[in-house]
């Protein structure tokens, strides 16, 4: 069934996206390879948080530049996501340790079980939990960022008279429409993955207090909240950065050689 679904995916990507759809599939393959290498390095004793941070930057680069090319949209998205990643990296690290997250989704009653597991596999499970948070937020941030950058790009493409603040306000207005859908998507995706956990909690007759204080619930909820924060922060950042790039193309001349608007700008000159 996995092979059949993979074939269906590739066919649909090609039908809908053409060559760009095939590039999307390739970038997905590269991202999976990066994640696989990250997991391998963790098993060799590398710090899970540092490895995940570096791999997230590589995934961001592949997803934006390899898949969509280097232009004003992808440059603005990349810098916005990197800034958000740097900000939330520290927050995720702090929250992960203060919340005593264990990095595993099973219901664990006792702290000793986490310590025993960490000792047996020689990996700090709290750091694995932080790595999971960072991995979860990077996809949400990239998705929201490229949506805002593309929308502002199209607005400016059809109305060159807009100044920087007008473009920024357009990005914020578009972002407010996207935000609700993005937050709901994150909540339902995470909660959907946890249906079996909730069923298990019901079978074992956990109370509401037991549920709220369980490590499994706490970890999932923190993942959702931090991913939502990433989506919220990346919207104004992307809007202002892409607006600045579009209004100041000369300052980014070396990086916009294949950008459609930059080529039009040179023709007008």
Domain map (residue ranges) of the chain = 48-268
Averaged pLDDT for residues 237-266: 71
Who wins on pLDDT, 215 or 140? 140
Write down the pLDDT at residue 55: 92
Who wins on pLDDT, 203 or 261? 203
Q: What is the DSSP letter of 254?
A: G
Q: Compute the mean pLDDT over every residue in the chain, rounded to the nearest whole number.
A: 79
Who wins on pLDDT, 120 or 157? 157
Tens digit of each residue's pLDDT (9 = 90 or more) over 112-134: 444 444 445 566 777 787 888 88
Contact 103, 132 (CB under 8 A): yes
CA distance 177 to 159: 21
Write down the pLDDT at residue 240: 92
Write down the pLDDT at residue 118: 47
Averaged pLDDT for residues 139-158: 87
Write down the pLDDT at residue 125: 72
Write down the pLDDT at residue 103: 52
Tens digit of each residue's pLDDT (9 = 90 or more) over 38-93: 989 988 888 888 898 899 999 999 988 888 778 888 888 999 999 998 888 888 87
- DSSP H helix total and E strand total for the chain: 12, 0
Out of 154-158, 203-207, 251-255, which region has the weakest mean confidence (pLDDT)? 251-255
Which two structure tokens, joined as six digits, stand for 171?
């990005």
Dihedral angle sign, alpha carbons of residues 31, 37, 43, 46: negative
CATH says 48-268 is which class? mainly alpha
Who wins on pLDDT, 15 or 253? 15
């Amino acid at each position: 069934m996995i092979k059949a679904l993979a074939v269906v995916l590739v066919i649909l990507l090609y039908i809908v996206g053409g060559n760009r759809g095939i590039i999307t599939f390739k970038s997905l393959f590269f991202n999976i390879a990066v994640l696989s290498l990250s997991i391998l390095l963790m098993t060799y004793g590398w710090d899970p948080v540092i490895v995940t941070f570096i791999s997230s930057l590589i995934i961001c680069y592949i997803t934006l530049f390899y898949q969509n090319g280097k232009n004003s949209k992808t440059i603005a998205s990349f810098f916005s996501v990197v800034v958000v990643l740097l900000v939330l990296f520290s927050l995720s690290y702090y929250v992960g340790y203060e919340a005593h997250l264990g990095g595993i989704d099973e219901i664990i009653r006792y702290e000793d079980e986490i310590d025993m597991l960490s000792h047996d596999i020689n990996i700090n499970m709290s750091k694995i939990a932080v790595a999971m948070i960072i991995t979860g937020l990077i996809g949400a941030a990239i998705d929201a960022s490229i949506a805002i950058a593309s929308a502002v790009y199209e607005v400016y493409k059809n109305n060159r008279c807009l100044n920087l603040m007008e473009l920024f306000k357009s990005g914020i207005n578009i972002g407010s429409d996207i935000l609700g859908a993005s937050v709901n998507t994150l909540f339902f995706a995470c909660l959907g993955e946890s249906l079996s956990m909730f069923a298990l909690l019901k079978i074992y007759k956990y109370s509401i207090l037991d549920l709220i204080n369980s490590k499994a619930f706490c970890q999932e909820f923190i993942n959702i909240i931090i991913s939502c924060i990433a989506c919220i922060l990346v919207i104004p950042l992307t809007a202002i950065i892409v607006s600045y790039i579009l209004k100041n193309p000369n300052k980014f001349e070396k990086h916009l050689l294949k950008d459609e608007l930059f080529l039009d700008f040179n023709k007008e000159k």
